[in-house]
Structure 1
Amino acid sequence: MLFDDVQGSRRQARDLTPATWQRYFASAQEVRLESGDVFHVYRAGSAGPLLVLLHGGGYSGLTWSLFTEEIMSRVECQVLAIDLRGHGETATADEHDLSMERLVSDVNGVMCALFGSDAPPTVLVGHSMGGALAVHTAHAWSAGPLVGLVVIDVVEGTALDALSAMHTFLRGRPDHFRSVQNAIEWCLKSGAVRNSESARVSVPGQLKNLRTGVPATRDIASGLASAGGGSPTAGGAHPPADTIAEEEEEGQEKDQESDEPQTVAHSPPSPTADQPVYTWRIDLASTEPHWQGWFRGLSPLFLSAPAPKVLLLAGIDRLDRELSVGQMQGKFQIQVVPRSGHVVHEDVPDRVAGIVATFLIRQRLTHALDGFQT
């Protein structure tokens, strides 16, 4: 009984306060392209190879916060995490054109604006949609030497098979939240992310204020996002107990097939002058015309990408036949990170950083810091 009380106290005491980027990155800046589109980026480091970090659909550059802190402590490198079109604090004329061609053009445009054609040796690192973007960008790279490619938990066959369930997944999550804290709590309880520190800094980048349209990250800076309470459902009523998975202790293993939340969506609560209501920064359902283009033909493109490659997966079952053959032929390295969900770099950032740091050192791209051992 005493053990149960202690465990319950730990769950109740979990800090859900939104966190800002300053602990993890050295700077945040706006990059204006010739088109007039303004891309928000986060940066860290001033020497060594440049890691260009590309997030998955619905996330933002803040998804790389803990990974950045971990990788910077292991090897000498630079980090550039981009809020892609329609995400985070990036502002573009057409936020719904998430075609792969447009996204590749955006990444090259940001690199050109920052470095011209003289970027440092660059490693493209991408998760999910961003992993597919990294592969496509590798074939259209124009910003300097491309020296590595890291793709996290995206495989063509598995991704295409999962698209049929995407609408069910999107309908199964709440449309609105009474506060950013509520959104953080939901993401943790649903298993969307399993690391509470990462959720505190990453989830705000996925939200916007429904009343003002302002990204939640800006509300946090003004202290507005911490106001309010209630639940992510209408009228402040809590959803039935069986609609959200019970919260797990940090590091406790969950079923790898249970990553997607099952909560039923509800109609939005009404925002008031003193009570913001938050919704998702991007309507992912509206990007459906581009889903096939993200992943179709990804495996051969990955295998033929002109740089040393590593594929990092949450489970070996995600490997399709073409990649299995390529891996046996030594065309790329593969690393499996068990006991993590789809957002591997958020769930276990230290392990992912260790894998990437080892990759950089073995490719002789940098050197270890503070006695880090590959």
Structure 2
Amino acid sequence: MEKELMKKKSGLPPMPIFMPGQASKRNIVRRKDYSPVYWDKYFDTKLDVSTDVGDTFRVYERGHDGPVLFLLHGGGFSALSWALLSTHVTALVKCRCVAVDLRGHGDSVTSDDSNLSAEKMSSDVGKIISSLYKDNPPPIILVGHSMGGAIAVHAAFRNLVPSLIGLAVIDVVEGTAMEALSSMQTFLRGRPKLFDTMETAIEWAVRSGQIQNVESARVSMVGQLKSVSTNETGSMELEHQHFSITDSIEEEPSDYEVPEASSASLTENFKTPVNSNQDHKYTWRIDLSKTEKFWTGWFEGLSQKFLSCSAPKMLILAGPDRLDRDLTIGQMQGKFQMNLLPQCGHAVHEDVPDKVADVLASFMLRHKVAEPIGNFERTMPGC
């Protein structure tokens, strides 16, 4: 009774009651697998790229031929958020995916990880590409999500990518983004600051709606968190929300089992970074609340910068309500391609990676910069 009252107080639905003779349902509904997975299930190579100023950026690559999709993640995310998309799009057309941990994120290390200004990060993009390809860069399409979308626009607007042949921005619009900034700190304060294990962090990400695709969350969350010792977490637990397995939002009975096939595939196909040391917990790799002074600079004037870029452009949105006035006019004038992918959250490329891959592949075929694989045919823009 006490457990049910606690659930009612938290706004969560009560657990279903199973009558005698219904135990066989355990064989039908099984608990989801929230165990983390490693990068090499999705990417071919991982490397650290040093720029001419001594900064080092973690880069993941997939594919060997065709144009490069240079992938920039959103604030707080990492290059691993592009894992599933990379596998899908490289199966549709001949292209390469290069995903980067931006400054202050993931496993990149710079002389000033706290400087997340649009100017600094867009300059990083140009320097990384220069370090990777020297004086002979391949055709590049900048693809960015949220903050990364803004940085992609800034890099294109400043002509920092000489071989740029396309620009794709995912779910970021100046008007909507600027309006959302006032509530961003409230959102960040509402997130758990500590997780007992990586599994509980992945479970939270899925059930809170931050990432709606379980498979993507299992690889993406690894890049968003870092391990901290219990000695370091003492004050954090007193001041902030601490998420443990007992706080999980139950969707199946707790005694449901993970399918045996999933456990076997974890062992056979890829490494699994599991925290076996109970003296450690997990917290966010970057404290986004401390980056507030840069937020306005990311998004202010973004629509006009986007529209003024000469390369073919595409905007992928989760809903039409995100389109502001300047972009509405630009879209009506045919200045860019727009695709709506409803029924997903803000992390569009993680929630529906197959659909975003289809859109990107069609964009490349439309502009005749890539060759299809197999019988893939481009789809018409949807808006």
Measured against the shorter chain, the TM-score band is: 0.7 to 0.9
Distance between the aligned counterparts of 2:278 and 2:210, measured in 1? 29
Structure 2, unmatched stretches of 5+, are 1-17, 232-239, 253-274, 379-383
Q: 1:289–1:373: structure 2 CA closer, same or farther, 3 Å change rule?
A: same
Write the deviation string for residues 179-216 of structure 1: whole angstroms up to 9, x where unpaired.
Answer: 11110000011010110000000001000112399xxx
Write the deviation string for residues 297-351 of structure 1: whole angstroms up to 9, x where unpaired.
Answer: 0000011112000100000010001100000000001000011000000000000
Residue number among 323, 334, 354 corresponding to 2:358 in the alignment = 354
Q: Measure how far apart 1:142 and its partner are.
A: 3.8
Amino acid at match of 1:343: A
Q: 1:345–1:155: structure 2 CA closer, same or farther, 3 Å change rule?
A: same
- How many residues align? The count is 329
Q: CA RMSD in A?
A: 2.5
Q: 1:233–1:99: structure 2 CA closer, same or farther, 3 Å change rule?
A: closer
Q: Is the 8 A contact 1:132 1:294 kept in 2?
A: yes
Distance between the aligned counterparts of 2:29 and 2:36, measured in 1? 17
1:314 maps onto 2:322 in alignment: no
Distance between the aligned counterparts of 2:312 and 2:191, measured in 1? 38
Q: Is the 8 A contact 1:117 1:143 kept in 2?
A: no
Residue number among 282, 285, 292 corresponding to 1:288 in the alignment = 292
Question: In the alignment, what sits opposite 1:211?
Answer: 229
Question: In the alignment, what sits opposite 1:58?
Answer: 76
Q: Is the 8 A contact 1:50 1:122 kept in 2?
A: yes
Write the deviation string for residues 116-172 of structure 1: whole angstroms up to 9, x where unpaired.
Answer: 232101100000000001111002234432110000000000000000010110010
Aligned runs of 1:99-248 on 2, under 5 Å?
A: 99-211=117-229, 234=242, 236=244, 238-239=246-247
Structure 1, unmatched stretches of 5+, are 214-231, 248-270
Question: In the alignment, what sits opposite 1:373?
Answer: 377
Distance between the aligned counterparts of 2:56 and 2:176, measured in 1? 33
TM score, norm. by length of structure 2:
0.81
Distance between the aligned counterparts of 1:89 and 1:127, measured in 2? 19
Question: In the alignment, what sits opposite 2:283?
Answer: 279
Q: Measure how far apart 1:275 and its partner are.
A: 2.6
TM score, norm. by length of structure 1:
0.83
1:302 maps onto 2:306 in alignment: yes
Q: Measure how far apart 1:105 and its partner are.
A: 1.1
Distance between the aligned counterparts of 2:25 and 2:140, measured in 1? 45
Question: In the alignment, what sits opposite 1:20?
Answer: 38
Sequence identity percentage: 48
Question: In the alignment, what sits opposite 1:48?
Answer: 66
Q: 1:237–1:32: structure 2 CA closer, same or farther, 3 Å change rule?
A: closer
Q: 1:341–1:363: structure 2 CA closer, same or farther, 3 Å change rule?
A: same
